[in-house]
Chains A and B, each alone.
Chain A
Amino acid sequence: MTATVHVDSVTHAASTPDVPQPYRELGLKDDEYTRIREILGRRPTDAELAMYSVMWSEHCSYKSSKVHLSYFGQTTTDEMRASMLAGIGENAGVVDIGDGWAVTFKVESHNHPSYVEPYQGAATGVGGIVRDILAMGARPLAVMDPLRFGAADHPDTRRVLPGVVAGVGGYGNCLGLPNIGGEVVFDPSYQGNPLVNALCVGAMRVEDLHLAHASGTGNKVILFGARTGLDGIGGVSVLASDTFAASDSAEGGSGRKKLPSVQVGDPFTEKVLIECCLELFGAGLVVGIQDLGGAGLSCATSELASAGDGGMHVELDRVPLRAKGMTPAEILSSESQERMCAVVRPSDVDAFMRVCAKWDVTATEIGEVTDGDRLVITWHGETVLDVPPRTVAHEGPVYERPVERPTDQDALLADLPDTLPRPSTSDELRAEILRMAGSPNLASRRWVTEQYDRYVRGGTVLAQPSDAGMIRIDEATGRGVAVSCDCNGRFVRLDPYVGTQLALAEAYRNVAVSGARPVAVTNCLNFGSPEDPGVMWQFQQAVRGLADGCAALGIPVTGGNVSFYNQTGATAILPTPVVGVLGVIEDVRTRIRTGIGDSGDELFLLGETRDELAGSEWAHVVHGHLGGRPPAVDLAAEQRLGELLRAARVSAAHDLSDGGLAQALVEACLISGRGAEVTLPGDPFVALFSESSARVLVAVPPTEAAAFTALCQEQNQPTHRLGTVTEDNALLHIDGLTDLPLDQLRTTWEATLPALFG
C-alpha cells in the first residue's frame, strides 16, 4: 500500500492538539510557542509554525533591538521629519531632495552567509538591498559596500575577501549599478564574523513613491520573478521529519534533510526584474509591492497583509516551483532570490501580465486581498494557514534583554596610549609615515575597487577613492546626491556613545567635503550576541549616541538594519554601527574634488588638532594597542565645516580620519598626482598621527585665499595655514622633517592589497 502525503491542515491541527512540534529546533522559545497557540486557539500547523518561526527570528522581528530602536522615533522632531516621505519600518527610507525628486537609500547586512559562502553571500546581499529600493518605486542608481574582515594576512581572510569582492562586483556589475564607494576594514575581531553590508541608493519622482501595503478587497496578489526552490531553508527541514510526509512523498523524506542554507543569486534575472518593475510602476499597474528577502513568502504575505486594511487569501499550490515535492512550510520559508510580490487591481492584471511577458518574467496570480483580517493560505483546497497577519509581521516578541556595562570598560578607558613609545627623530617619523601608508587599513583599495563598474548609467560624478560617492540624479538641472558610509569600530569599543557619534560625524563630514548638504541617515548596526549584557549595553549606547547625534545635526534616521550574533564563541566583534549619510547638491558641477588641489593653491588645515591617539590606527598598527578615550566629538564643529565648505570657493578638499593628517596628505597628493610643501602645526608626531575629529584639508586658489581666511574668521572656524601645492609633482615636502617622493609613497601605498590577495 502506498502511503499518501498528508499536509498538516488547520482542521488537522485543531483535532490533534498534542502532537509534539519541533519549535525549539526552529528557534522559538517555550513562551513564544505558547503565545502562538494562544493567538490561534489551537496548535499551529507546520506552515504556521514555519511562518512564525522565521518572522519571529531576530533577523526579521528585531525582538532584541525594538525597545532600543524606539529611541529614534522619540528623538526625531517634526522639523527633522519634514523632508521624510517614508521612514523607519518601510522597505527603505525616502527623502524629498527638491525639484520633485525623492531619493531612497538603505544599508543592510548579509554577514553570516558571507562567511559560509563568500561569493554568493555577498552577491545575494547586494541583490536583496537593491530589491528593497525597487520596492519603494525607485530606480536603483548606485551601490556601496562597507566590508570588514579579519586580519589582512590571515589565511581565512584570503578565502573570504576575494570571494566577497568578486560577489559584490559580480552581482552589482551585472545589474548595471555603479559602485561609488564603501569601506574595507581589517581587524582580528572580524575573523570568524566578516561583515558584508550593502547599501543602495535609488530615485523617483515624488508622486511615484510606492509603499508596501495591500488594500482594496478583491485586488489580486501576484508573485513574479524567479521560481521558488529550496534555497536558504536549512532550518525548516526539521518540519519534514516531524510530520507524516517524511517517509512518503515522492521526492521528500530523509534524503532531503541536508537542504542548502545558502541562497544563490542570478543577477540577470534581477536586472530583467528591475526593468519589468519600473515599466509596471510607470504604467500605474501596481497598488502595493513587497520584495521577497529573508523569510521569503512568509514575509511578503504577512507584511503586505499586515500593512493593508483587509486580509489576504493565498493559494500556495499556484506558486511556480523549481524543486519537486516542496511542502507548504518549505515554500513559505524559501529564500529563493529575485522574487517580488505585487498587489494589482483586477482590471490591471492582464496589462501586468503583458509587461511581464515582454520581459520574460514569470508571473503568477497566487491570491487576493479579502475583507476580514486574517491571512489564509490554502494548499490544494485545504487551509494550511490561518493567522492574524499583524501577529506575524509586527507583533512579534519584544525582548528586554539585560543591559550591563562591561566590567572591563573602565580598565579599557584607563589604559591610555600616552606611554606608548613615539617616533621623534626625522628618520623615525618619515619611516612611520611610510609604514602607516602601507598598512592594510590605510593602503590603497584599488585592488578592490577596480573590480567594480563605476561608470554604468553615466551619472557617477565622484567614486572611490573620493571621500564620498556622488551621482547626478537630474541630467537637466545637475541635481545630485552624495553618500558616505563610515564607522571606526575601535572608537565604538572604547565608548559606544561617543564612538557612534564619531561615525556619524565622519560620514557627515565626508558628504560635506564633497560640497553636498547632508540631509538623511541610514545605519547598519553590527553587534555581537544580544544574549551578552555587555553587547546590549554597547547597542543601547550606540543607538542613543546616533539618535542624539542626528537630533543635534537636525538630520533624521530614515531606516536601517540590525545584525546581531556576530560572535565566535565568547568573542564578539568590535561593536560596528555603520552610519551612512546622504547629502543633496543642487548642481553636481559645483562638487568639491578629493585631492591636494592645483599647483600654487594654498593649503589649509581646518579644525583643531589635539593629542588624541586612543583607538588610532597608529596605536593599532605600531603597538597593537586599544585603550583610552576616543577623540572628542563636536557635532556643531562638523556642521560649521559643512556650511563653510558650501560657501567657500575651494579647489579640492579631503577629510581627516583614520591615520590623521599624515594619511590625508599622502592620499591627497597621490590622488591628484601632485606634491606639496607643508609646515606641521605643533608637535610633529601629534600633528601627523592624531585622529582628532572635525578636521578637513582644503586647497584654495591663491586668488581666493584672502576671502577664504576672512570667511573662516567670520565663522569662528579654527584654521592653520599648512602650506602650498607645488609645481613639483615629485615630492611631499614636510618642513623641518623630510621629503617624501611621490613615487615611493605610491609604491608603498599601492603594493599592500595586491601582495596579499593577488
Chain B
Amino acid sequence: MSRVGVITFPGTLDDTDAARAVRYAGAEPVALWHGDADLRGVDAVVVPGGFSYGDYLRAGAIARFAPVMGEVVTAARAGMPVLGICNGFQILCEAGLLPGALVRNAGLHFVCRDQRLRVERTSTAWTGDYAAGAEIVIPVKNMDGRFAAASSTVDELEGEGRVVFRYVDGNPNGSLGDIAGICSADGRIVGLMPHPEHAIDALTGPGVDGLAMFTSVLGKVLT
C-alpha cells in the first residue's frame, strides 16, 4: 500500500481531512511533523490547508522554512509527487517549488463556496484519474486565494500547459486567468486553492469529485 505523508505545521487545519481522503483512496496516511526533517519513507506528500503560523508575515512565508520542508524540496526535485492544497499551495509557492504567489482575494472577503472547476491537465501525478476537460465541484475556502504572477510567468504556464485547474462559472478571488491550480514542469508537483479533501463524501461535501486527486497518485509513486 502506498504511504502518503501529510504535514502538520502549527496552525494547520485540514491535515486530518487530507489524511481521511488518503485513506478513502486506499493509501496509508503518514503524519509528518513540521519540526522533523524526516519524510518517514513516504511515497508522496500532501501539504494541507489551514493557517500555518497564523499566516503571519505572508501566508506560507514562515512554514516554508520548517525543517520538514527542506526534505520536501529535495524529494520533490527527485520526482516525489507533492500536492499543495490552499495553504499548502501558498507554501509551495513561497518555497519556490511552484511559480507565482497567492494574495488577498479581490473581493476582500473570506469566501467559502462550492466551486466549479475544469480539469485542464490530466497528465500530472495528481490528476490522472480525471477525464480531460472534466468539470468538477470542489469547495474553496480562503481569504488569500488570488493567483498573482508576472505576465511572463502566466504566459509560460499557459504556453506549457501547466494550468491544471481553472475556475468556471465565476472566479471567487480574481485569480489571473481564472487559474485555480498549477503544476511543475514535470507535472509531479501540483498546487491548488480548492480543497479536494472536502469533496470525498456526499454526506459532508458537495460530492465526491475530490477523491480522484488522491487515487491518481497511487499509480504514480516512484518505486
Direct A–B contact in complex, judged by CB atoms less than 8 Å apart: yes
Name A residues whose Cβ lies closer than 8 Å to a Cβ of B.
166, 169-170, 173-174, 176, 266-269, 271-272, 359-360, 449-461, 472, 588-589
Q: What is the bound-complex CA distance between A359 and B205, given in angstroms?
A: 31
Whether B11 and A272, one on each chain, are in contact in the complex, defined by CB atoms closer than 8 angstroms, is: yes
Q: What is the bound-complex CA distance between A271 and B55, given in angstroms?
A: 13
B residues near A174, Cβ cutoff 8 Å: 11, 51, 54-55
Whether A457 and B17, one on each chain, are in contact in the complex, defined by CB atoms closer than 8 angstroms, is: yes
Question: Any chain A CB within 8 A of the CB of B139?
Answer: yes
CB distance from A540 to the nearest CB of B (A): 41
Closest partner residue, chain A, to B200 (CB atom)? A458
Tell me which residues from 125 to 176 in chain B have a Cβ below 8 Å from any Cβ of chain A: 139, 141, 143
Taking A451-B111, A452-B112, A458-B197 as given, write out 10 further A-B residue pairs in contact, using a Cβ cutoff of 8 Å, ordered by the A residue number. Answer: A169-B110, A174-B51, A271-B54, A359-B10, A450-B112, A451-B109, A454-B112, A455-B139, A455-B204, A456-B13
Q: B80-106 toward A: CB 8 Å interface, digit per residue (1/0)?
A: 000000000000000000000000000
Whether B56 and A455, one on each chain, are in contact in the complex, defined by CB atoms closer than 8 angstroms, is: no
A residues near B143, Cβ cutoff 8 Å: 170, 173
Tell me which residues from 5 to 61 in chain B have a Cβ below 8 Å from any Cβ of chain A: 10-11, 13-14, 16-17, 20, 50-51, 53-56
Question: Any chain A CB within 8 A of the CB of B113?
Answer: yes
* A455 with B112, Cβ < 8 A, contacts A176-B50, A266-B54, A268-B51 known: yes
Q: What is the bound-complex CA distance between A117 and B139, given in angstroms?
A: 31
Q: What is the bound-complex CA distance between A460 and B17, given in angstroms?
A: 12
* A458 with B10, Cβ < 8 A, contacts A170-B110, A174-B51, A451-B112 known: no
Whether A268 and B54, one on each chain, are in contact in the complex, defined by CB atoms closer than 8 angstroms, is: yes
Whether B16 and A457, one on each chain, are in contact in the complex, defined by CB atoms closer than 8 angstroms, is: yes
Closest partner residue, chain B, to A176 (CB atom)? B13
A residues near B204, Cβ cutoff 8 Å: 455, 458-461, 472
B10, B53, B112: residue with the most chain A Cβ atoms closer than 10 Å: B112
Whether A455 and B109, one on each chain, are in contact in the complex, defined by CB atoms closer than 8 angstroms, is: no
Q: What is the bound-complex CA distance between A414 and B106, given in angstroms?
A: 53
Whether A360 and B112, one on each chain, are in contact in the complex, defined by CB atoms closer than 8 angstroms, is: no
Question: Any chain A CB within 8 A of the CB of B116?
Answer: no
Closest partner residue, chain B, to A458 (CB atom)? B17
Partner of B16, one of A166, A271, A458: A458
Q: B176-202 toward A: CB 8 Å interface, digit per residue (1/0)?
A: 000000000000000000010110010
Whether A271 and B110, one on each chain, are in contact in the complex, defined by CB atoms closer than 8 angstroms, is: no
Q: Range of interface residues on chain B?
A: 20 to 34
A residues near B10, Cβ cutoff 8 Å: 268, 271-272, 359-360
Partner of A450, one of B51, B53, B56, B113: B113
Closest partner residue, chain B, to A588 (CB atom)? B203
B13, B17, B53, B204: residue with the most chain A Cβ atoms closer than 10 Å: B204
CB distance from B7 to the nearest CB of A (A): 15
Q: What are 15 A-to-B residue pairs whose CB atoms are below 8 Å?
A: A166-B110, A169-B110, A173-B141, A268-B10, A268-B53, A271-B51, A272-B11, A451-B109, A451-B112, A452-B112, A453-B141, A455-B204, A457-B17, A458-B16, A458-B205
A residues near B13, Cβ cutoff 8 Å: 176, 271, 456
Q: What is the bound-complex CA distance between A269 and B54, given in angstroms?
A: 8
Q: What is the bound-complex CA distance between A450 and B198, given in angstroms?
A: 16
A residues near B50, Cβ cutoff 8 Å: 176
Q: What is the bound-complex CA distance between A450 and B139, given in angstroms?
A: 11
CB distance from A142 to the nearest CB of B (A): 12
Closest partner residue, chain A, to B52 (CB atom)? A268
Q: What is the bound-complex CA distance between A92 and B201, given in angstroms?
A: 32
Partner of B203, one of A360, A453, A454, A589: A589
Closest partner residue, chain B, to A169 (CB atom)? B110
A residues near B109, Cβ cutoff 8 Å: 166, 450-451
Whether B110 and A451, one on each chain, are in contact in the complex, defined by CB atoms closer than 8 angstroms, is: yes
CB distance from B215 to the nearest CB of A (A): 17
Q: What is the bound-complex CA distance between A529 and B50, given in angstroms?
A: 42
Closest partner residue, chain B, to A170 (CB atom)? B110
Closest partner residue, chain A, to B139 (CB atom)? A455
> What 6 pairs between A and B have smallest CB-CB spacing?
A268-B54, A176-B13, A455-B198, A458-B17, A174-B51, A453-B141
Partner of A268, one of B11, B17, B20: B11
Whether A268 and B14, one on each chain, are in contact in the complex, defined by CB atoms closer than 8 angstroms, is: no
Whether B56 and A268, one on each chain, are in contact in the complex, defined by CB atoms closer than 8 angstroms, is: yes
A residues near B201, Cβ cutoff 8 Å: 458
CB distance from B169 to the nearest CB of A (A): 14
CB distance from A355 to the nearest CB of B (A): 13
Q: What is the bound-complex CA distance between A678 and B94, given in angstroms?
A: 57
A residues near B195, Cβ cutoff 8 Å: 455
CB distance from A758 to the nearest CB of B (A): 9
A169, A176, A451, A461: residue with the most chain B Cβ atoms closer than 10 Å: A176
Whether B110 and A455, one on each chain, are in contact in the complex, defined by CB atoms closer than 8 angstroms, is: no
* A455 with B11, Cβ < 8 A, contacts A170-B110, A174-B51, A268-B51 known: no
CB distance from A227 to the nearest CB of B (A): 16
Q: What is the bound-complex CA distance between A174 and B20, given in angstroms?
A: 20
Whether A456 and B51, one on each chain, are in contact in the complex, defined by CB atoms closer than 8 angstroms, is: no
B residues near A267, Cβ cutoff 8 Å: 51, 54
Q: What is the bound-complex CA distance between A453 and B112, given in angstroms?
A: 6
CB distance from B221 to the nearest CB of A (A): 24
CB distance from B185 to the nearest CB of A (A): 32
Q: What is the bound-complex CA distance between A688 and B169, given in angstroms?
A: 35
A360, A455, A460, A472: residue with the most chain B Cβ atoms closer than 10 Å: A455
Q: What is the bound-complex CA distance between A588 and B195, given in angstroms?
A: 23
Tell me which residues from 106 to 126 in chain B have a Cβ below 8 Å from any Cβ of chain A: 109-113
CB distance from B85 to the nearest CB of A (A): 12
Q: What is the bound-complex CA distance between A717 and B143, given in angstroms?
A: 48
A residues near B197, Cβ cutoff 8 Å: 458
Whether A450 and B205, one on each chain, are in contact in the complex, defined by CB atoms closer than 8 angstroms, is: no
Q: What is the bound-complex CA distance between A649 and B13, given in angstroms?
A: 37
* A458 with B20, Cβ < 8 A, contacts A170-B110, A453-B112, A589-B203 known: yes
Q: What is the bound-complex CA distance between A460 and B139, given in angstroms?
A: 13
Q: What is the bound-complex CA distance between A268 and B12, given in angstroms?
A: 10
A residues near B53, Cβ cutoff 8 Å: 268
Q: What is the bound-complex CA distance between A174 and B55, given in angstroms?
A: 9
Q: What is the bound-complex CA distance between A472 and B203, given in angstroms?
A: 10
Closest partner residue, chain B, to A165 (CB atom)? B109
CB distance from B15 to the nearest CB of A (A): 10
A residues near B56, Cβ cutoff 8 Å: 268
A residues near B198, Cβ cutoff 8 Å: 455, 458
Q: What is the bound-complex CA distance between A169 and B111, given in angstroms?
A: 10
Q: What is the bound-complex CA distance between A451 and B198, given in angstroms?
A: 17
Q: What is the bound-complex CA distance between A370 and B142, given in angstroms?
A: 49
Partner of B11, one of A271, A452, A460, A461: A271
CB distance from B40 to the nearest CB of A (A): 18
Q: What is the bound-complex CA distance between A114 and B203, given in angstroms?
A: 35
Q: What is the bound-complex CA distance between A183 and B135, given in angstroms?
A: 34
CB distance from B147 to the nearest CB of A (A): 20
CB distance from B86 to the nearest CB of A (A): 11
B residues near A176, Cβ cutoff 8 Å: 13-14, 50
B residues near A451, Cβ cutoff 8 Å: 109-112
Closest partner residue, chain B, to A179 (CB atom)? B112
A residues near B203, Cβ cutoff 8 Å: 461, 472, 588-589
Whether B14 and A456, one on each chain, are in contact in the complex, defined by CB atoms closer than 8 angstroms, is: yes
A residues near B55, Cβ cutoff 8 Å: 174, 268
B residues near A454, Cβ cutoff 8 Å: 112, 141
Q: What is the bound-complex CA distance between A266 and B53, given in angstroms?
A: 11
Q: What is the bound-complex CA distance between A589 and B201, given in angstroms?
A: 11
B residues near A588, Cβ cutoff 8 Å: 203
CB distance from A242 to the nearest CB of B (A): 39
Q: What is the bound-complex CA distance between A459 and B197, given in angstroms?
A: 12
B residues near A272, Cβ cutoff 8 Å: 10-11
A residues near B112, Cβ cutoff 8 Å: 449-455
Q: What is the bound-complex CA distance between A359 and B55, given in angstroms?
A: 17
CB distance from B116 to the nearest CB of A (A): 15
Partner of B141, one of A166, A266, A455: A455
CB distance from B20 to the nearest CB of A (A): 6
